[in-house]
Amino acid sequence: MPQQVGERFQHETRYVRHHMPTGFLNLEQMPSPVKEYPGARVIALPDPAGRRTPTLGKVLRARRSVRRYASTPLALADLSFLLWAGNGRQRTEHGQSFRTAPSAGALYPIETYVLAHQVEDVPAGLYHFGVRDHRLEEVALGDFRREITQAALEQGMCREAPAVLLWTAVFARATWKYGQRAYRYVYLDAGHIAQNLALAAAALQLGSCQIAALFDDEVNALLRLDGVEEGIIYMSVVGHPG
């Protein structure tokens, strides 16, 4: 019986002893680990440092997948903490920045976008999380609740929640080093970030629900992405439980 695409992917991206990839990395061709929107309107995010949160054990016990949300707006300070906890800058060592979530080779192929439906001091619209300066970069203003709900297989929580976080992969950042094996790693990276977000939301007594059921092309179009060099991987709603 012919292998299905998922089986072929698993088989063809495996590592086999004595048949490992060889060669040298061209550091001059290393992609940038950050994406920016030059000239975009910018919203500075409050400093997340020093935010008091419960113990890890308490947060782990509190985490739930929440699918109903109140109409209460999300505080900008809470969004700031969620973005930092998910994949923000944690420290700098020897001139290299490291983030709150692990990433294969510290290449950080995952980008974060925010659909702000009801976020205090943020006009409704699509934003990119500028991780380098911890800020929101405006991509497009407008009410995109209908579009994101339809693209997420009509899951109503995308319409109810005050914010939707979307994670994309810039594939070349990982394939530059790992070749086809990189496609495994970008999904793992996104999972690390989503778990960080889920725990951070629980720490703030907010709800979240992670979503992989989506029409890729529709979400990519909403994010103004080609789906080839950069494409949607995963997303999450977040807000006050209803």
Q: What is the pTM of this model?
A: 0.95
Average pLDDT over residues 2-8: 88
CATH class, 5-239 region: alpha beta
Candidates 38, 25, 27, 12; CA nearest to 177 is: 25
Where exactly are the structural domains of the chain?
5-239
pLDDT in tens, 110-120: 999 999 999 99
What pLDDT shows up at residue 25? 84
Of 49 and 147, more confident: 147
What pLDDT shows up at residue 3? 84
Angle at 229 between CA 82 and CA 124, to 5 degrees: 40
pLDDT category of residue 225 using cuts at 50, 70 and 90: very high
Whose tokens are 């950050």? That residue is 34
pLDDT in tens, 54-99: 999 999 999 999 999 999 999 999 999 999 999 999 998 988 889 9
Locate all alpha helices (DSSP H) within 69-215, ordered by sequence: 76-87, 145-151, 157-160, 172-178, 182-203
What pLDDT shows up at residue 96? 87
Token duo for residue 74: 């999300």
Flag the least confident range among 15-29, 93-107, 173-187, 225-239: 15-29
As a whole number, the mean pLDDT across the chain is 95
DSSP state letters, 174-239: HHHHHGGGHHHHHHHHHHHHHHHHHHHHHHTT-EEEEE--S-HHHHHHHTT--SSSEEEEEEEEEE
